[in-house]
Amino acid sequence: MNSVRLIHLFSLCAISWSVACGDDAEFTISPATINLHAEEDSQQVLVTEIASRLDLTRSVRYEIAEPAIAAVTDNGRVNPVTSGSTTLRVINGERVQSIPVQIGNLASPRPVSFRYDVLPVLTKAGCNSGGCHGKAEGQNGFKLSIFGFDADADHDALVSEGRGRRVHLSAPDHSILLRKATAEMPHGGGARIVKDSVWYQRLRRWVAEGARDEPAPDSEVTAIKVFPSEVEMSPGKSQQLQVTAVTAGGDQRCVTVEAEYQSNAEDIATADRDGLITVSEIPGEAAILVRYMGHVGICRVTLPRSGNEFARPPEQNFVDTAVWDRLQKLGIPPSDRTDDAAFLRRVFLDVIGTLPTETECREFLADRSPARRDTLIRKLLNRPEYADYHALRWADILRVDKSIVTPQGAVAMTRWLKTQLRKNAPYDRMVHNLITSQGNTLTESPNAFFQVHKDPGMLGRSVSQVFLGVRIGCAECHHHPFERWSQKDYYAFAGFFTGVGRKGAPSGGQKIFPQPGKDLSHPRTGESVAPAGLGAPAPDLSEEYDRRNKLADWMVSKENPWFARMIVNRLWAHYFGRGLVEPIDDLRATNPATNEPLMNALASHLIKHDFDIRELTFAMLSSRTYQLSARTLPENRSDSQNYSHAAWRPLPAEVLLDANCQATGVAEQFNGWPEGYRAIQVWDNRMPSYFFKVFGRPQRVSVCECERGNEPSISQALHLMNSPESVRRIRHRDGVCAQLAASDDEPEKIIERIYLRTLSRFPAARESQLMRQAFEQSRTRRQAVEDIMWALLNTREFVFNH
Amino acid sequence: MGHRRNSYCDGQTRRRTLQIGASSLLGGLTLPSILEMQANAAAPGPIRAKACIFLMLEGGPSHIDMWDLKPEAPSEIRGTFHPISTNVPGTQIGNIMPRCAQIADRFTIMRSHSHKDNAHQTGRHWVLTGYPPSFADGQAKGMPFNELYPSVGSIVSRELGQRGAVPPYVEMPNPLGPGGPGFYGARYAPFTIDTDPVQPDFEVRDLNIAEGVDESRLSLRRRLLEGADKEGPGANVTGRAKTMSSYYEKAFELATSPEARKAFRIQDEPESMRQRYGMSSIGQCSLLARRLVEAGCRFIGIDHGSWDTHVDNFTSHEKALCPPTDQALSALITDLDERGLLDETLVVMMGEMGRTPRINKDAGRDHWSQCQAVIFAGGGTRRGTVIGASDATASYPTTQPYGIQDLLRTVFHLMGIDASKVYDTPLGRPVPIVNGGSLINELIA
């Protein structure tokens, strides 16, 4: 029997606006009618000003005509008191509107369902969260499944375990469940539920009704609706959300109180536990994730800057169109186009991980051809260092770990990556080849990937995260907390890798070979799960000897919803310092891009050009957006997500080391390596190096780009300033400092040359004057040169890309 | 990385408790239950310890020979050492720790520490992070090898921050294997002194301004650097670039401030003081640790090996391991006490395991994590006490065994850190500072 019948489908809401609110009505009320059928149900009302669409929920006054029948809080939440009909009056100054309130027969409510009524309360109260009873080992002997994904086990834990004291059928208030939850009994987690509150009543009634877990197929939640799903807000204002669960039986019921809220950009907008969104002063966009019973929805919040004329700069290509659209909507002006010198340094460091030389600087800065920037981008994309640098980045996330795959294996896979990049292999082919690779790990190939990832689960987790941006790993043990992925999806995906054979090869290395795979079984139900792509139907594997083929086909197809977006986001994050989606390998409907049209345009561009990575990169780098200055305007200073100015990004450890060596003309001597290698060429991820350690070079223990540390530390500053290695580079008898000091150049010229070698630009007159002090105050010319070099190598401008 | 969550499990902030208390008045809670709720919320008590010195005896010291002797046990168990009386009536310890015996009224021996990880790398990971490692023993790679979970020092560093001119978290004379920041990130990594203060030419890596750069040249360099930063495009940066320049400030301070440089200059100690701690690695590290505490350091991890005495356990303990340790620990405790610092400085000495009660064929003792002794002094712990006891062969605790989570929770409690605070890993998994465990009330003064 259905107890809660709320008529507020959003289409109906819309109708009620036009019907209930004539021309003179100032605001609308959602829903248009309230129907509550159990005493622990509630309905959140939304009151919206029509003209401005501002949320008035927290500013109007509420009255129930007959308080004996229903009650309403100041926040607009209606609770039943006794059966009957009444009205809710909403008062906004002079204006008053009413909606009918129906309270059903409270004496015979629908029984409380364990899985659909009790578990959501335990989830919202945090009982089954990962820090508490939801931990793998439970908490103080009481274990719940995380976020309530395993209702059977949870029911057992509550009713059968704990010597049956957790629920007390004949005296429900004495149940340990309730006494602990309210902290009537000492509870490590403190009070999670207020006694006699609505939730308390619901848990109590469930116990009183026999603490059963009866099937209630009609009550199964099939979807949730979040209203509003998009909202434009202004600083200091709030917006109440209204969340409605739709059941298999077709009921709709307000679960605003039970749902959970999380913002993906807390510096812009946050939501409290009752679903009230508040925003900061920082313009931008946030997505509020709403979660209820494994279902997720979002509300996108836009916070524009107010009151500015937007002067739209010229567009270089489609990237700028999408970025300007966004900035215009937000009222954030972009910074100016950066000068040639800043562009030169930025694009060198980004594309080839290498500083421009003094000569390259002079040439480019003298070049007056209009197409010089585009020409430079094309040239850099074809340089060998491009392959070196990007192979290094790929080897990090593909976990080319020398200590697992042997040095020869690491070299073999690094070489394969370089080849792909050098010949600009279409990205879809490259990934297809990797997923289906076979043969010896010591040959130039991606085979070592299957040595590092030893089992189907590891492969499934890494492949989905690296190439699809889906963190399916969560679903190994429990339903993904922010997504629709269940354990079934996890084992279906991992099941593609059950046919990967590995054996030692007589010639050394490991041989990776395909063999017939078998379906994995679901850890809880034991049923075997047919392999399937995420959210895709299970393919027919009967004709396939190597089931990875079908997976690879599905992954790289143009229709795959993640494949193109993931590489777009990864590259964008590399070149712009922040992914369109962050974290960059966490693509979810509930974690949207800050600029969806841009993301879509880039993904389409990639697909249209047959997954040509260089073309995509060129589109990004030739945009005016990439070439904006890092100097901020007062109006865009606080923007960090809409690309209104270039970002300051720490140089990766290897790039910074190479830059130091190049600027000083003193090569690094790597432990046991022949001379002449640059840090971006070092495939040895376990090479002991203090520099790599303090600057956060990843050890390749995870496929997450986040393993690369980019947090500054005191040790870094000390190392650059004082370390014997830094001193050696500056003092080296064959180094640049020595050469400059010995040259006939005037101080002016020397200062210029050091600026070009370090900061890739000419010094301004004031800077030159500042640096002349060294020549005036140092005892020797050599010391002066060293001091200037030391100072510039330690500037923010040198240590960061900008 | 690892942003703070606002949900608590084992405890809540005091403010939150008060909020619940206020709202619950409407909900009909009785006053006693409110008081009970407040008592349950693990609101951190008064800050007892401003700093912690953690002596990690790598390899596993022999509890049955040093702190928990069993003279009545058969000879293949009791070994060659005998118990001696301490200055605490009724408390006896091994005759290889004579100096500690004379000051036993200033520290507490826990004889019932116990855990199940019987290997070195994994056991050390367990002890220093409170989390089980995800690798098999001997498989840990890299340094530090706590790739996910932060170490106790990094947690202290994150929660308490810098005090004074020295970094908040220092390790010496080597990095502790699992002493890193895990997912907290490099910001909370230890400042590692990779050299040993017992060396005559001891100096701290990267701390010294290059030779030939005197004060006037350094101030010129600094002027050039500050001028270049001011004139360049980075004049008004925010975010990491700004943080980096604040670290330059701190680095300069560290390298140039008399206070910080002085803290590291162990050579300034009078010879008598250096001799008092003993001219050993652990002795001079302990002395330097005391100097760092005085300068404001929050957590000092001292790495001391090699206690893995599978062979010749007795000779090793008697000749090589215990004498410097006995001297260092007793000097550290008394010196801190004389300076009035012991009450606000927590000293912990332990290994990743104890050693087998049964002596092996090589006159050695093997790994034994089931029963260990841990020494606590100062920082709000009791003085002159023994807590916990083991069975007749020092094999298992006969009282409530205390696990590492109990121990860490208690350390954090004494330092005023809410051990129930939760940070999310980059993948969104919540990781409480300490996962479970209870306060060891009998340890707290």
Closest chain B residue by Cα to residue A705: B426
Per DSSP, chain B holds a count of helices (H) and strands (E) of 15, 14
Q: What's the pLDDT at A40? A: 83
Please give the residue of chain A at the shortest CA–CA distance from B167: A714
d(CA A735, CA A664): 6
A533, A556, A579: which is the final residue of a domain? Answer: A556
pLDDT tens, position by position, A371-400: 999 999 999 999 999 999 999 999 999 999
Per-residue pLDDT, A452: 95
Read off the amino acid at residue A799.
V
Kindly tell me the sign of the dihedral angle through the C-alpha atoms of A623, A629, A634, A637.
positive
The full set of domain ranges for chain B reads 48-200+264-422+436-443
* Mean pLDDT within B68-90: 95
Number of Cβ within 10 Å of residue A527's Cβ equals 10
Q: Answer yes or no: do A464 and A499 share one domain.
A: yes
Instruction: Note the pLDDT of residue A264.
Output: 84
Compare CB distances from A194 to B27, B186, B224 and report the shortest one's residue. Answer: B27
| Per-residue confidence band for A731, with pLDDT thresholds at 50, 70 and 90 | very high
Does residue A439 come out as left (phi exceeding 0), alpha (psi in the -120 to 50 range) or beta?
Answer: left
> Is A775 within the bounds of a domain?
yes
Work out the average pLDDT over A740-744.
96
User: A151 and A236 share a domain?
Assistant: no
* H or E element in which residue B159 lies: helix B152-160
pLDDT band at A1 (very low <50, low <70, confident <90, very high): very low
* 108-147 of B, contacting A, C-beta below 8 A: 141-143, 147
Mean pLDDT of A635-660: 92
The residues, any chain, with a CB within 8 Å of residue A532's CB and separated by 6 or more, are A489, A492, A493, A538, A539
Cα A624 to Cα B299: distance, rounded to the nearest angstrom: 49
Q: What token pair was written down for A690?
A: 């203090």
Chain A residues within an 8 Å CB radius of B245: 796
- Judged against a pLDDT cut of 60, whether residue A306 lies above it is answered with yes
A408's tokens: 């020869």
Check whether residue A201 and residue A226 sit in a common domain: no
CA A87 to each of CA A9, A156, B180: distance values in angstroms, whole numbers, following the listed order: 20, 43, 62
Q: What is the dihedral of CA B376, B382, B383, B389, to 10 degrees?
A: -70
Do residues A173 and A260 share a domain? no
What span, in angstroms and rounded, lies between the C-alpha atoms of B287 and A168? 60
Question: B35-60: per-residue pLDDT in tens?
Answer: 333 333 444 567 899 999 999 999 99
Cross-chain residue pair B436–A713, CB shorter than 8 Å:
no
Q: Does B191 touch chain A (CB under 8 A)?
A: yes
Give me the mean pLDDT over the A202-227 stretch.
Answer: 90
- Closest residue in chain A to residue B188, using alpha carbons only: A713
CB A299 within 8 A of CB A256: no
- Would you identify the CATH topology of the domain B48-200+264-422+436-443? Alkaline Phosphatase, subunit A (3.40.720)
pLDDT tens-digit readout, A690-718: 888 788 888 887 788 777 776 677 788 88
**What pLDDT was estimated at residue A200?**
92
The pLDDT value given to residue A799: 93
Q: Given pLDDT bands bounded at 50, 70 and 90, which one contains residue B141?
A: low
User: What residues does A331 pair with on adjacent strands?
Assistant: none
pLDDT at B153: 97
> According to the model, what pLDDT value does residue A138 have?
80
Q: Which of B213, B231, B249 to mutate to test the interface with A (most CBs of A within 10 A)?
A: B231
Q: Which residues contact B101 (CB under 8 A, 6 or more apart)?
A: B84, B85, B86, B87, B93
Separation of alpha carbons B65 and B322, rounded Å: 10
Q: Tens digits of per-residue pLDDT, B405-437?
A: 999 999 999 999 999 898 988 777 788 999 888
Phi/psi of residue A217, nearest 5 degrees: -55, -35
CB contact under 8 A, B210 and A481: no
Closest-CA residue in chain A for B219? Answer: A787
pLDDT computed for residue A323 by the predictor: 97
- The answer to whether residue A186 neighbours chain B at the CB level (below 8 Å) is yes
Q: What angle do CA B178, B183, B184 make, to 5 degrees?
A: 95
> What distance in Å separates residue B236's CA from the closest CA in chain A?
8
* pLDDT beyond 80 at A415: yes
Same domain, A485 and A519: yes
B167 close to A (CB below 8 A): yes
The answer to whether A263 touches A250, Cβ cutoff 8 Å, is no
The candidate with the shortest Cα–Cα distance to A529, out of A574, A504, A494, is A494
The average pLDDT across A130-159 equals 85
Helices (H), B199-280: 215-231, 239-256, 258-264, 271-277
CB A119 within 8 A of CB A151: yes
Whether A720 has a pLDDT exceeding 80, the answer reads: yes
CATH of the domain at A264: 2.60.40.1080
pLDDT given for residue B12 in this prediction? 35
Cα-Cα-Cα-Cα torsion B186, B192, B194, B200, nearest 10 degrees, comes to 160
CB burial string A764-794: b at 16+ within 10 A, e below: eeebbebbebbbebbeebebbbbbbbbbbbb
Give the C-alpha separation, A224 to A85, whole Å.
Answer: 27
The residue of chain A nearest to residue B254, with distances taken between CA atoms, is A718
Distance between CA atoms of B109 and B102, rounded to whole angstroms?
14
Predicted confidence (pLDDT) at residue B28 exceeds the cutoff of 60: no
CA atoms of B83 and B65, how far apart (whole Å): 9
> What's the CA gap between B355 and B341, in Å, rounded?
33
Q: Are B430 and B424 in contact (CB under 8 A)?
A: yes
- pLDDT the model gives residue A669: 87
Positions of E strands within A31-130: 34-36, 43-44, 46-49, 61-64, 70-72, 77-80, 84-92, 95-103
What value does the mean pLDDT take over residues A519-539? 93
Q: Are strands A260-263 and A520-521 parallel, antiparallel or unpaired?
A: unpaired
A149 and A98 belong to one structural domain: no
d(CA A109, nearest CA chain B) in Å: 23
| Contact: A723, B33; criterion CB under 8 Å | no
Categorize the per-residue pLDDT at A496 as very low, low, confident or very high, splitting at 50, 70 and 90.
Answer: very high
Residue A2: pLDDT band (50, 70, 90) is very low
Q: Where is average pLDDT lowest: A436-450, A481-495, A572-586?
A: A481-495
Whether A794 is covered by a domain: the verdict is yes
Cα-to-chain-centroid distance, residue B406: 14
**Within 13 Å of residue A735, how many CA atoms lie on the same side as its CB?**
23
Rounded distance, CA A369 to CA A47, Å? 60
Across chain B, mean pLDDT equals 86
Chain B residues near residue A471 by CB distance under 8 angstroms = 427-428
Q: Determine which helix (DSSP H) or strand (DSSP E) holds B405, and give its type and residue range.
A: helix B404-414
What is the number of domains present in chain A?
5
Handedness of CA A20, A24, A30, A34 (dihedral sign): negative
Question: Is the predicted pLDDT of residue A730 greater than 90, yes or no?
Answer: yes
Residue A399 and residue A509 in one domain: yes
How would you label A293-319 residue by residue, b for 16+ Cβ within 10 Å and e otherwise? bbbbbbbbbbbbbeeeeeeebeebbbb
Coil, helix or strand at residue A122: helix
**pLDDT(B384) > 60:** yes
A200 plus A266 within the same structural domain: no
| Statement to judge: residues A719 and A784 lie in one domain | yes
Q: Nearest Cα to A723, choosing from B297, B179, B257, B255?
A: B255
Two tokens, residue A251:
């009921």
B109 dihedral zone (left: phi>0; alpha: psi -120 to 50; beta)? beta
Q: What is the mean pLDDT of residues A449-474?
A: 94
Joined together, the tokens standing for residue A431 give 């990934």
Instruction: Report cis status (omega within 30 of 0) of the bond before A80.
Output: no
Task: Indicate the pLDDT class of residue A267, thresholds 50, 70 and 90.
Answer: confident
Is there a single domain that holds both residue A270 and residue A165?
A: no
Give me chain A's average pLDDT, please: 90
Residue A297 lies in a domain: yes
Residues A405, A407, A408, A409, Cα dihedral to 10° = 20
* Res B139 pLDDT > 80: no
Domain shared by A495 and A523, yes or no? yes
Model confidence at B9: pLDDT above 80: no
**Which chain A residue has the Cα nearest residue B225?**
A791
Same domain (yes/no): A532, A676: no
Is residue A147 less than 8 Å (CB to CB) from chain B? Answer: no
Q: Locate A645 and state its tokens.
A: 């100015």
Chosen domain end from A103, A135, A156: A103
pLDDT at position B249 over 80: no
pLDDT at A634 over 80: yes
Pick the more confident residue, A576 or A686.
A576
Name the pLDDT band for A308 (thresholds 50, 70, 90).
Answer: low
* Cis peptide, bond prior to residue A486, ω within 30 of zero: no
Tell me what pLDDT residue B44 has: 53
Structural domain harbouring A792: 653-694+712-801
* Token pair recorded at residue A709: 């540390």
Stated as kind and residue range, the H or E segment containing A552 is helix A548-556
Domain boundary among A303, A319, A346: A303
- Report the candidate in B125, B174, B136 with the shortest Cα–Cα distance to residue B305: B174
Write the DSSP assignment of A90-109 as a string of letters: EEETTEEEEEEEEE--TTSP
Percent of chain B exceeding pLDDT 70 equals: 88
Instruction: Kindly report, residue by residue over A268-299, the tens digit of the pLDDT.
Output: 899 998 999 999 888 888 999 998 888 889 99
3-class SS of residue A802: coil
Taking the CA atoms of residue B157, residue B161, residue B164 and residue B167 in that order, the dihedral angle to the nearest 10 degrees is 40
Band the pLDDT of B17: cuts 50, 70, 90: very low
The confidence score (pLDDT) of residue B253 equals: 77
Residue by residue, DSSP assigns B177-216 as: TT-S-GGG-GGG--EE--S-TTSTT---TTTSPPTT--HH
Q: Would you put residue B219 in left (φ > 0), alpha (ψ -120 to 50) or beta?
A: alpha
Decide if the complex's ipTM is over 0.85: no
Residue B439 sits at the chain A interface (C-beta within 8 Å) = no
DSSP reduced 3-state for A130: coil
| Cβ-based neighbour number of residue B110 at 10 Å | 27
Q: How confident is the model at residue A678 (pLDDT cuts 50, 70, 90)?
A: very high
Q: How far is CA A206 from the centre of its chain?
A: 39
Report percent pLDDT > 70 for chain A. Answer: 96
The pLDDT of residue A688 is 81
The pTM assigned to this predicted structure is: 0.78
CA dist list (Å): A688 to A19, A682, B308: 74, 12, 25
Segment holding B21, helix H or strand E = helix B14-27
Which residues on chain A are in Cβ contact (under 8 Å) with B217? 778, 783, 787
Asked if residue B377 lies in contact with residue B342, where contact means CB atoms within 8 angstroms, the answer is yes
Which two tokens mark A720? 């650059």
Q: Which residues contact A382 (CB under 8 A, 6 or more apart)?
A: none
Whether A70 is in a domain gets the answer yes
pLDDT for A66-94, tens place per residue? 999 999 999 999 999 999 999 999 999 88
Which residues does A732 contact at the CB level (< 8 Å), separation at least 6? A664, A665, A666, A738
Weakest mean pLDDT among A182-191, A317-326, B268-277: A182-191
B139 or B219, greater pLDDT:
B219
Residue A270 to chain B, least CA–CA distance (Å): 12
